[in-house]
A = this chain, B = another copy of it.
């Protein structure tokens, strides 16, 4: 399968790319607004993989080509770029492709991070509105700390909640998530339940800021 990461050159895109490349047989398509930057990133990721005695199947290209090549397309971009990014690649998506959003809207003040809930109910719902017809949207990977995710020397031991209205698309994303060693996918229901998944990210940031024993905070459900 081809897994595309739009915004695969930064934040959690980097960690997802590295881990899918290392832990699965999927082709990881790294997209960027700048195709050369995507290719440079892939070269850097290949060096990281080699440093860890691993390899993977990675390719870099512009966002539109990356979206066209992907069976699953993960929009690993900040919340404020999400709908713009989806609009940009909409024509490149085929019915049956799965669009995945890990984006969370947050505001920060002196107390910590707060979930900035959009009027649509969630950022995931905004992605669903922007997605072309026939392309189901799944919310996942909202709560993964970027730095340790991108550190292949770090062993993940965590869960990620998954929400979506299309059962087959959810199944695909659950399998994709669980392809990452140490990561569990947990079903949290339909897109209407996305707000609480997104809000968890703010809580994890606050725990990392205020609890002396926590820094980059992961979550396990049991």
Show the binding face of A for B, using Cβ within 8 Å: 109, 111-115, 157-158, 161, 186-190, 192-193, 195-197, 199-200, 202-204, 206-207, 209-214, 217-222
Contacts and interface: CB of A to CB of B under 8 A. Distances in A.
Contacts of A112: 188-190, 192-193
B111 A189 contact: yes
A170 to B, nearest CB: 10
A116 B166 CA distance: 26
Contact of A203 (B157, B161, B192, B213): B161
Contacts of A192: 109, 111-112, 114
Contact of A221 (B113, B189, B214): B214
A152 to B, nearest CB: 19
Given A187-B212, A188-B207, 17 more contacts: A112-B192, A114-B193, A114-B195, A115-B195, A115-B196, A115-B199, A158-B222, A161-B203, A186-B211, A186-B213, A188-B206, A193-B210, A196-B202, A196-B203, A200-B203, A217-B222, A220-B220
Nearest to A222: B218
A221 B207 contact: yes
B217 A193 contact: no
Contact of A111 (B193, B212, B219, B221): B193
9 contacts: A111-B190, A114-B192, A114-B196, A188-B207, A188-B211, A199-B200, A200-B203, A217-B222, A220-B220
Given A115-B196, A196-B114, A189 B206 contact: yes
4 closest A-B pairs by CB: A196-B203, A111-B192, A189-B210, A199-B199
A203 B112 CA distance: 20
B196 A200 contact: yes
Which one of A109, A187, A190, A207 has the highest number of Cβ atoms from chain B below 10 Å of its Cβ? A207
A36 B112 CA distance: 44
A221 B168 CA distance: 30
A197 B187 contact: no
A204 B200 CA distance: 11
A219 B114 CA distance: 20
